[in-house]
């Protein structure tokens, strides 16, 4: 048998900040947080789209945000139905975002 010892870090004291908290945060947490932020951005860009109907920048930002939100939503669906193993989550996040942007750019350039 392998004699591996696991080293645990000492617990943080009250008020002490973990200097490694950002790099230790898993990609699933970032994907969850960014999907919530993109949902709020969709509401803002949708309101702007209604007010500024034919502004290309507003349309592009709305389409980018919806695409990003949809890609992360597909990630949740694939993980919830166990269609993709959680250990491939990093590749899943980046792959779906890349695929979403390729589809979005294809649609954008076919319209404009």
**45: its two tokens:** 């860009």
Q: What is the DSSP string of 8-21?
A: PPPPPPTTPPPTTH
pLDDT reading at 13 higher than 90: no
How much is the pTM?
Answer: 0.78
The full set of domain ranges for the chain reads 25-111
Average pLDDT over residues 80-109: 94
CB atoms within 10 A of CB 68: 21
Which spans in 6-85 are helix H? 21-24, 27-51, 56-80
Give the model confidence (pLDDT) of 28-87 as tens digits: 899 999 999 999 999 999 999 999 999 999 999 999 999 999 999 999 999 999 999 988
Q: Give the total residue count for the chain.
A: 112
């Amino acid at each position: 048998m392998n004699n591996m010892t696991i080293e645990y870090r000492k617990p943080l004291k009250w008020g002490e900040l973990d200097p490694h908290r950002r790099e230790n945060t898993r990609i699933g947490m970032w994907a969850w947080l960014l999907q919530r932020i993109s949902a709020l951005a969709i509401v803002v860009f949708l309101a702007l789209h209604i007010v500024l109907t034919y502004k290309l920048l507003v349309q592009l930002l709305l389409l980018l945000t919806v695409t990003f939100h949809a890609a992360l939503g597909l990630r949740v669906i694939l993980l919830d139905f166990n269609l993709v193993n959680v250990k491939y989550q990093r590749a899943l996040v980046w792959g779906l975002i890349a695929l979403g942007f390729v589809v979005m750019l294809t649609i954008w350039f076919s319209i404009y």
